Copies of this chain bind each other. A is one copy, B any other.
Amino acid sequence: MRIAIIGGGAAGMSAASRVKKLRPEWDVKVFEKSPYVSHAPCGLPFFVSGFVRNLLDLCTYDVEFFREQRGIDVHARSEVLEVGDGHLDVLEGGKEVSYEWDRLLFATGARATPLNVGCEDVEGVLSVHYIESGERVRQLLSGSERVVVVGSGYVGIEMSEALSKLGMRVTLIERERHPMPEFDPEISVILKRKLEEKLDARFGEKVVSIRGKDRVEGVVTDKNEYDCEMVIVAVGEEPNVELARRFGVKLGKSGAIETNARMQTSVKGVYAAGDCAETINLVTGESDWIPLAAPANKMGYVAGVNMAGKDMEFPGAVKSMLTSFYGLEIGKAGLSEREAKSKGIDTLSATVRMKSTATYLPDGDITLKLVADRDGKVLGVQAAGMGVSKRIYAAASLLFKGSSLKDFFFVDLPYYPPQSRVWDPLVVAARNLFRKLDVP
């Protein structure tokens, strides 16, 4: 059997490794446009800040490893131009080559959403979606003092911190009134204060144009103008689905490729996994686009098992996320109240602000919001402050198993005064919602 995988990122390499493990005799080819495989762009802010020295450190393994240790026929610097029934056309080493396949995987990932204000291709304006962007940002740093970061999602926030710690004067521009639109204002306002303390942070401002000829000179918004030598565009991402669309694979509502639990697309023998594919949101039970690293790896794993002729189902994800800004942790699993309401769900919520550890120990506060429906099913948890990651680990686990407020109240979390509380914020938030549901 001939297996072709388009994209050598997390999903693609997980799938390739799985197929080769289960079917060592099969021919497994991976086509990757860049020189890098199993690249982990989540680490880019740490490369930019100088914390990680070598770009290759952001790749779990290199091409040679996959070729020699795992027997995968990796084609790096190899761009797939077109996919046809049982074959595909690739541009590699300057010439077009055609390969045949029996089973195919789209693992084409996502790309940064452009600002669409023009001048985005001028020197000094870039996104940090691809591993190569790390090198470009580092090169640009030497001639720069002022940088404008557009967008305050986790990429914008992590890049702002990295650049600010390097001594750059960072202006962060966000169209909305609060950062991180996936969060409700009770939580995002805490991050907002921290951003305003550490950076020149502007909310409710929309970028209307970028100035500059040979190199970027400034950013113009609907309210102000900011001179700068570098612009980081971090206004979101979108699935890379052009090849799949042209090939005729069905796309979902989100624009990403529709898949079933075995990661099969609408076309027999053709699979999709990772940031280009839809999966099930376990909280809503509906198809969703969840472009995050951990589910991408597992979707690839499951696709690989099924492409190898075995059987495994990917259950879906709860959209867990975690980041931080100057020591303030921010995390979420499941839905925000706004996201739940936008789906027509009648919600209840409780927000607690308390110490993250035993009251008598000098650790910081955590603010945690828990959202449930009127039947007592928990829909999501968001938090900001100290000790956030362990609460999101627990919340993600409970949401993954479809838990109720009673589960969140009775869950037996460990108590150790320097690390936690005997009545954990998750437990207190659940208890506060008991009142609204007439639980004694």
Chain A interface (Cβ < 8 Å from any Cβ of B): 10, 22, 40, 42-43, 46, 51-52, 57-58, 60, 282, 292-295, 297-298, 305, 308, 310-312, 314-315, 317-324, 329, 331, 333, 358-361, 389-398, 400-401, 403, 407, 409-420, 422-424, 439-440
Q: A361-B46, A390-B389 are contacts. A308–B440 as well, Cβ < 8 Å? A: yes
Q: What residue in chain B is nearest A42 (Cβ atoms)? A: B417
Query: How far does the Cβ of A378 sit from chain B's closest Cβ, in whole Å?
Result: 12
- Residue in A293, A391, A400, A403 whose Cβ sees the most chain B Cβ within 10 Å: A400
Q: Cβ of A360: which chain B residues have Cβ within 8 Å of it?
A: 43, 46, 52, 57-58
- Interfacial chain B residues near A424, Cβ < 8 Å: 294
Are A413 and B440 within 8 A (Cβ)?
A: no
Q: Are B407 and A60 in contact (CB under 8 A)?
A: no
User: How far, in angstroms, from A391 to B413 measured CA to CA in the complex?
Assistant: 11
Please tell me how many copies of the chain the complex holds: 2
Using known A-B contacts A322-B419, A360-B52, A403-B401, determine if residue A410 contacts B297 with beta carbons closer than 8 Å.
no
- Cβ contact within 8 Å between B292 and A415: yes
Distance in Å: Cβ of A347 to nearest Cβ of chain B: 21
Are B440 and A22 in contact, CB atoms less than 8 angstroms apart? Answer: yes
A392 to B394, CA, bound (A): 9
29 inter-chain pairs at a CB distance below 8 angstroms, sorted by A residue, are: A10-B422, A42-B416, A43-B358, A46-B361, A46-B417, A46-B418, A60-B359, A293-B422, A294-B423, A297-B422, A298-B410, A317-B412, A319-B412, A320-B412, A320-B415, A322-B415, A324-B416, A324-B418, A324-B419, A333-B412, A389-B390, A392-B414, A393-B413, A393-B414, A394-B397, A396-B412, A396-B414, A397-B398, A401-B401
CB contact between A422 and one of B40, B305, B391, B407 (< 8 Å): that residue? B40
Chain B residues near A42 (CB, 8 Å)? 358, 415-417, 422
Are A411 and B400 CB-contacts (below 8 A) given A308-B440, A416-B389? Answer: yes
Complex Cα–Cα for A322 and B413 (A):
9
Q: In the complex the two chains form, is B396's CB within 8 Å of A322's CB? A: no
Determine how close the nearest CB of chain B comes to the CB of A156; give it in whole angstroms. 15
Which residues from B are CB-within-8-Å of A390?
A: 389-390, 393
Kindly list chain B residues whose C-beta atoms are within 8 Å of the C-beta of A418. Answer: 46, 324
**A397 B413 Cβ-Cβ under 8 A:** yes
Q: How far is the CB of A370 from chain B (nearest CB, A)?
A: 14
Q: How far, in whole Å, are A409 and B299 apart by their CA atoms in the complex?
A: 12
Docked CA distance A297–B361 (Å): 20
Residue pair A331, B414 in contact (C-beta under 8 Å):
yes
Chain B residues closer than 8 Å to A410, beta-carbon distance: 298, 314-315, 400
Top 4 nearest A-B pairs (CB, nearest first) are A397-B397, A320-B414, A322-B414, A310-B440
Highest count of chain B CB atoms <10 Å: which of A58, A295, A440: A440
Give, as a whole number of angstroms, the nearest-CB distance from A310 to chain B: 4
Q: Considering only CB atoms, which chain B residue lies closest to A406 in the complex?
A: B315
Known: A294-B412, A315-B410, A321-B414. 8 other contacts (CB 8 A): A42-B422, A57-B359, A58-B360, A312-B439, A320-B413, A321-B416, A393-B393, A396-B413
Chain B nearest CB: distance from A103 CB in Å? 15
Docked-complex contact A414 and B389, CB < 8 angstroms: yes
In the complex, chain B residues whose CB is within 8 Å of the CB of A419: 322, 324, 329, 389
B389 touches A420 (CB 8 A): yes
Name the B residues within 8 Å of A57 (CB-CB).
359-360
**Partner pick for A440 among B295, B311, B320, CB 8 A cutoff:** B311
B residues near A394, Cβ cutoff 8 Å: 393-394, 396-397
A416 to B361, CA, bound (A): 26
